Every structure is written in C-alpha cells, then in structure tokens.
Structure 1
Amino acid sequence: MRSDISFKTTDGLTLKGWLYAPVDATAKLPVIVMAHGFTAVKEQYLDRYAEVFAGQGFAVLVYDNRNFGASEGLPRQEADPLLQVRDYRDAITYVSSLDNIDAARVGVWGSSYSGGHVLQVAAFDRRVKCVSSQVPAISGSADVRMAVRPDLLPGLIEAFEADRAAVYAGEQPLLMEVVAEDPKADCALPGQDCFEFFTESGNSVAPAWRNEVTLKSIELLNEYEPGYAIDRISPTPLQVIVALKDTVTVPDAALRAYEKALQPKNLVLLNCGHFDPYLSEFKASSGAAIEWFKRHL
C-alpha cells in the first residue's frame, strides 16, 4: 500500500514522497529510508525497490531530494550533497515518529550519489541499524577528474568562480545539461549509458525529471568525499553493491572503500553497468538488499 507523504526539514522545506507499508500489518514495522541519486527523481524506478521491500514486510519512505521533483527548495535543479545528507536524517526523524513504525529498526538505502549519502548518514547517525549502498559515489573530486579532461579543468574552475560572483550579484545560477547525446557536448554526466537511462526513463516513467542542473552542483560534487568515513559505520551492518562495468562511479573506488570498512559488512558484485541494477539486474540488486535488511532489521 502506498500513500503520499510530506515532511519538513530542519531548515523549513517541505519534501514530498511516498510511504509504502505491507497490507494488513498489525505490529510496528521496520522501515527503510531511500532517496535517489544525482538529479534523479523518485519515479525513476525507486518505486520498484519500495514495492519489493514492502512485499517483504518493510515500511519504506521514498522522497524527492530538495530542489528536485515534487519537493520544495531553491535554486531548482541544484544538488547540494551535504544538505541531502541532512535531509536523510530529517526523513529518519519524520518516519520514526509515525505510530506504525518501529524506530529501533531503521535502515537506509541509497544508489549512486545517494549511495554515498547513506555512507555519511550511517557513519554518524546511530539510529541507523542497517545500510545498503548501491553503486556508490565514493569521491566527488575523483569523479569530476574522470569526467573532465585535465586541460579543461582550469577552465571549469574559472567557470565555478564566475558563477559564484554572478549569483552573489543577484543573477540566476548557471544551468547546464545533465546528459547529452553528443559525446563532445558539455554536460554533467557524459556517456551514452547516462544519456539513455535519463532520457528513456524521463520519457517513460518520470516526466518530472529535467535535463538541467546548476553549475554549482558540479562544484559541490567536486568538494564531496563521502567515502572518507566508511570505517566509522561499524558496528552498523554495511552492504556495498558494486557494478563491475560501472563507468559512472567506477568499481575500483568502491572496492577500495569497502576494504577500508569494518565488519559487519557484505560485498555484492554485479557484472553490469551503473544503471543496470535498476533494470536488467533489478532482481539481483533488490534481492541482495532484501536479504541484508531481513538479516539485520
């Protein structure tokens, strides 16, 4: 059963999403809190995960990140990772207050950008009792340097500085495309697999998704290092799901981070690309998460 929900963040925004719960549940439920990755909205297949999690006895809170989709926040289309991490914690506070939720059994799930976020959340928020991090972002600065040619990086830094000055002077923030069909075009997420996933899902299931993001979002990504505290998650059980053919959040970074993590932990290797866990490898990715949450929640 799915219901529309909204909750307030500590800085006063209203974030909107869905609450899933098993039909005819009588006891208080363990809950999984989840949000999407870079620029994505909840309709881009998070409902699939929530449905199968709920089918296994979990309540699931799914919401749009601030500035995206149905949620409030300005500037629109700006992905601030540190604020998104705080929003996860506010989502935990909200859902833990509900009468049908067992606040002692809270798990977090994230994928790609939010896969990095849940590492940060679990490292410092002991209300989290289990975490599953799928194809996680580990180092924003490494991701930027992989996507941008070294000779173009100084120009990008100059663009960050010019955009900051313009916004300070009262102008609107500079927007850029998230994905582009032309491999030579400037965009936030280059690559054919990124283009196909976002445009196909945007056309078919997620009309709220927009192919634009603020330039500042790239600057904030460049400053974000979610993998640094992975060894602080223990004793909270950690699962990391790695796509071995991932060209967006490359597997070697996730594997190095996993080696740094302490027990209890679980590594799942999928022989696929970054976006396949939502689609062709959905059964494998969701099944691994279900097994981990059932074991620890």
Structure 2
Amino acid sequence: MSATSESPKYKEIKIPSATPLWNLDAWQYVPEGKGTSPCPVIVMAHGLSGNKTMGLKQYAEIYVQMGYACVLFDYRRWGASDGTPRQVVKVAEQLEDYRTVIKYCRQQPAFDPNRVVVWGTSFAGGHAVSIASEPQLNVFAAIGQCPYLGVTATPPFSWTLIKTATYAILDSLKLKVGLSPILVPACALPGEVGVMNAPDSKSGMFGIVENSPGAKYPNTINASSIFELQAYSPKDRAKNIQCPVLVVHCETDTLCLTPGADATAAASSHVEVVRFKDCGHFEIYPGAKFFDDDVKLHKEWLQKHVPV
C-alpha cells in the first residue's frame, strides 16, 4: 500500500510487544528487486506525541529507493499500536519497543541482522542515541535528527506553569492507582497549558501533519509526561556509544538545545554532530525549509557508514 503507484510499497505488520496481547503496529518496507542478499534495515519511530503517519513515510521511501529496508512502528499506547491508557509516555516502554523491533528485524531473512540502523527524530532521536549506547544490542549505526538529549528550555514562572504542574502531579497520582490519565495538549501556543508550548511548537507540529497525507494527530498527552522528560537524559548515556551516530542539530531549536548536542559529541568520538544554521526544530521535516538538505545529509552519511 502506498501513496502513489511510484512510491515503494509497504506491508502492515503486527509485532508482539513485551506486554502480553499488546502488539506494535508497524509498516515494513523491503526494496524491490534487491536480490537474495539480506539488506540493511532502518528501524524508525516518531518523537513526543507523534506517530508513524506523521512524515516518516517520506523518509522511508527515500531510504528504500537507496536499497535499505525500513520498519516504522508506533510505541505501545500510541498511534495504531495496542495499549491502555492511551497517549501516556513511558520512556522505559518506548526504549523496550525499539529493542523489540530490532529483535524482530534480526529474525527476518530479508534483513541483514548485523546491519541494523536505529533512526529517531526529536524525542525518538534521543531514543536512537540511548539505544546506540547499549553494547548488548550491537546496532550498526544510528541517526538522531533534532534529538532530545536531556537539555531543554526552562519555562518561566507563570500561572500556566502552576496549572501545568498541578495537572502533572494529579495525573501522576491517578496513574499510580490505576485511574484514567489527565490529558493535556501536547502542543500549545505560548502561555497555554501544554507540554510543548514554544513559539513554533503548535504550528510546527501541525505543519508536519499538513505535509503528511493521511496523518492522524490527536495532540494529547498525559500531563505527568513532563516528569518523564525531566528524568530522561540520553546525553548521559552517550559515553558508551561504540557505533557511528549522526546527530543533526538545529541551531535555533527552542525545544532541544545546543548544550545537549555538544555534550553528546564530547562523550563519544563515534558521534558526529552536523549543525544547521538558522534552522528551527520543525524546519527539517517534509515540506519544510531544510528537508532537502537534511535528507541529502542522511543519504551521504548512510552511504558512507552503512553502504548497501
């Protein structure tokens, strides 16, 4: 199934997650006419509050035309995957879901088990760095674009902050006793309650949706997800990275700040940081100003480090 007759086709698959009876919904691309040799495979997921319908297909189609297989998936509780309560962020689960899909890929005869590439954007870009730092997984390479690495802007003290914190505390308590979560906007305008309310957050996220035919985006997230973000710092794991990792950093990013990219690069000689000047967090996605430059970079880097 594909957007046009010229686009690479994908197969919808269900991958059992670590939670019994909860499947991960995934799209699997295999290059046509690849021959009998197994090909490298890129495991892909979206960032905070996003799902695979939001622009990931555009990247995957480019990689598949280069000869790479791709498996795009939604985390438990998100997108088309199983799991309740919905729209709840659990970092440990999301990392485990990456490991689950990597294991699945290594069991497929069409994929080279020794050349698995981990790909993530925004929050999932941090996951790509974290997964690359786990020596037992032995991934071949990783790409994190505009990744969340543990450094973000501190919101100013305001009534909005007080309300957001109150919702977060109540949500945390509700989840602990098995009640339904308190959902707030994932993206909001400055001054509004929301987990991401930088000036370009709402317009940027909905720009991704507008440039992704068929995208579905509820724009909701559990309020206590802010505590998950505060406790998560992929840059602190980077010292264990032993495979090539590309970090694409947007220099005017208001969500994922420069010190995170700097610290990640300083922690491991295997990390290469490429900086896009005058580029905001949402300006490297499909349809945006730096998308072509971003994809060109990915292609050159993959051809160098993971040749087909």
Q: Amino acid of the residue matched to residue 193 of structure 2?
A: D
Are residue 136 (structure 1) and residue 147 (structure 2) matched?
A: yes
Match of 2:233 among 214, 225, 238: 225
Report the Cα offset of residue 231 of structure 1.
Answer: 1.4
In structure 2, give the amino acid aligned to 1:135.
C
The equivalent position to 1:162 in structure 2, one of 170, 193, 211, is 170
Residues 135, 254 of structure 1: 8 Å contact kept: no
- CA-CA distance at 1:51 after TM superposition: 0.6
Q: Which amino acid aligns with 1:102?
A: D
Task: Work out the CA distance in 2 between the residues paired with 1:170 and 1:101.
Answer: 40
SS of match in other structure, 1:62? strand
Partners of 1:3 and 1:173 lie apart in 2 by 33
Does the CA contact (< 8 Å) of 1:147 and 1:190 recur in 2? Answer: no
C-alpha deviation, 1:197, in angstroms: 2.2
User: SS where residue 133 of structure 1 aligns?
Assistant: strand
Listed as ranges, the matches of 1:33-44 within 5 Å are 33-44=43-54
How many residues of Structure 1 are paired with residues of Structure 2 in the alignment?
290
CA contact (8 A) 2:126 2:144 kept: yes
Q: Is the 8 A contact 2:167 2:182 kept in 1?
A: no
Give, in whole Å, the separation in 2 of the partners of 1:241 and 1:170.
39
Q: Is 1:18 aligned to residue 24 of structure 2?
A: no
Query: 1:107 aligns to what?
Result: 117
Question: Do the aligned partners of residues 168 and 107 (structure 1) sit closer, same or farther apart at CA in structure 2, a change above 3 Å counting?
Answer: closer
Q: Deviations over 1:90-118 (max 9, x none)?
A: 00011111121110111111111001001
Cα deviation for residue 212 of structure 1 reads 0.8
Checking the alignment, whether the CA contact within 8 Å between 1:41 and 1:206 is kept in structure 2 is no
CA distance in 1, matches of 2:11, 2:148: 30
After TM superposition, give the deviation of residue 170 of structure 1 in Å: 4.6
TM-score normalised by the chain length of structure 2: 0.87
1:79 is paired with a residue of what secondary structure? Answer: coil
Measured against aligned partners, the alpha-carbon deviations of 1:58-117 in whole angstroms (never above 9, x if no partner) come to 001111122111111111111212211111110001111112111011111111100100
**1:77/1:214 contact within 8 Å kept:** yes
Identity of aligned residues (%): 27
| 1:280 counterpart residue number | 289
Secondary structure of the corresponding residue to residue 80 of structure 2: coil
Cα contact 1:16–1:64 (8 A) shared by 2: yes
Q: For 2:201 and 2:171, locate their aligned partners in 1 and report how far apart those are by CA, in whole Å.
A: 25
Among 117, 120, 126, the alignment partner of 2:127 is 117
How many Å separate the matches in 2 of 1:86 and 1:294? 28
| 1:240-295 deviation line (CA, Å, top 9, x unaligned) | 11111111111232123212222x33221112111111132122212222222222
Over aligned residue pairs, what C-alpha RMSD do you find? 2.0
The answer to whether the aligner puts 1:177 opposite 2:188 as a matched pair is no
Higher helix share: 1
User: How is 1:1-297 mapped onto 2 (pairs within 5 angstroms)?
Assistant: 1-12=9-20, 13-26=22-35, 27-124=37-134, 125-139=136-150, 142-143=151-152, 146-150=153-157, 157-181=165-189, 183-202=190-209, 205-234=213-242, 236-262=243-269, 264-271=270-277, 272-278=279-285, 279-297=288-306
1:15 Cα shift? Answer: 0.7
SS of the residue 2:95 aligns to = helix
Query: Which segments of 5 or more consecutive residues in structure 1 lack a partner in the other structure?
Result: none
**TM-score of the superposition, structure 1-length normalised?**
0.90
CA offset digits 1:177-213 (Å, max 9, x no partner)? 11224x2111111023211122243356354211110
